[in-house]
Amino acid sequence: MQSAISGEASAFGSLYDFYEPKIYRFILFKVSHREEAEDLTHHVFLKAWQSIPNFKARGGVPFSSWLYRIARNQVIDHYRTKRDHADLEQVDKEFTPSLAVAHINSIAVDQNLELEKVWTAVQKLEPEHQDVIVMRFIDELSVRETAKAMEKSEGAIKVLQHRAIQKLKNILTEKA
Amino acid sequence: MELNELLKQFKKIESNHEYRSKSRAVVLASHQNARTQSSWKPFLISEGRFGASLVMTSIIIVALLGGFSIKTTPDSGSLPGLDLAGIKAEAQAIDIQIQLTSLNYQEYAKPKSTKAVGVAPIKKEKEVANDDSALIAELKKMNGETEVEITQPVEADPGIDQALEALIL
């Protein structure tokens, strides 16, 4: 981490390899568009690399949380821009649950349907609930890391996570 | 399957390998920003500049308004019914009175000091001269010399006379 902060490209390359899939997943859940998710993930790491010398100044924030913060802001900016320039072409290209599940290799066909349902249910959650589900249960961030990424207290994250799971379960039962 | 287990299945979602390697190369090839200074410093500098400009503007406004008000204030010479000659004469009269008062004081004070300082030394000189002449005459008699007048006339200070005259008058 220190080498990456001091500007060593190979050290940051290792961080990229470790965090890129997590950030990509997080963004994909938010934008539901493969190319957009890739583009935004690229921008997140570009921004992180360019501003990593200032990372040390942000005392107490883990690197993972810092990356997720950048990703969240990128998604917010993306939606802001998209809202201003929305057109029909973009809507047609939207990601479908089956496309999302198609990303997952080596899964049984019967699981495929279940995963599609969960994907659709997660999309119906509020943004904060979505974030906490992805960070805590998919990317397996600690409560502290999630709290720092979402700029909330650890207690608030525990409450949020409980509510998010309850809502997700409710959506899935309603569908069933 | 448990919800938790289903969610963990999404961990297998990955980006395109080609995209990943390309993006990684582009990111690492880009230049890093120089370490920026404290986030407060530019703010303080900009605020300082703003404050300085505000102070300068207020100084200029005060100077302009002040200059204008001075210019618009009527000249003392242009006041109707103001008798400058009369004021001048009055001022001069006050000066004269002061001079006269000090002169009276000097006249009152001067003779006293002259008496104390000027008269006493004359008396002393005369006494000393008499004592000395008697002693010298005696010594000369003993030596068989003829008596010589050694006493010199004491010159009176003309200033003392003037002061005395002024006191009498």
Q: How far is CA A3 from CA A68, A137, B117, in A?
A: 21, 30, 100
Q: State the smallest CA–CA distance between residue B29 and chain A in angstroms.
A: 8
- Using the Cβ of B37 and the Cβ atoms of chain A, whether some distance falls under 8 Å is answered with no
Q: State the smallest CA–CA distance between residue A50 and chain B in angstroms.
A: 4
CA dihedral A35, A41, A42, A47 (to 10 degrees): 150
In terms of CA atoms, which chain A residue is nearest residue B8? A138
- Using the Cβ of A51 and the Cβ atoms of chain B, whether some distance falls under 8 Å is answered with yes
Question: A64-97, pLDDT tens digit by residue?
Answer: 999 999 999 999 988 888 766 555 444 444 555 5
In terms of CA atoms, which chain A residue is nearest residue B25? A13
Token couple for B117: 């300082």
Mean per-residue pLDDT, B35-47: 56
Can you tell me the distance from the alpha carbon of A39 to that of B32, in angstroms, rounded to the nearest whole number? 19
Lowest mean pLDDT: which of A22-31, A35-44, B19-28, B33-42?
B33-42
Residue B35 φ/ψ region, left for φ over 0, alpha for ψ in the -120 to 50 degree band, beta for the rest: beta
Contact A119, A101 (CB under 8 A): yes
Can you tell me the distance from the alpha carbon of B79 to that of B86, in angstroms, rounded to the nearest whole number? 14
Residue A136 has pLDDT above 90, yes or no: yes
ipTM of the complex: 0.78
In terms of CA atoms, which chain B residue is nearest residue A22? B11
The pTM of the whole model exceeds 0.80: no
User: Which of A24, A54, A107 has its CB closest to that of B9?
Assistant: A107
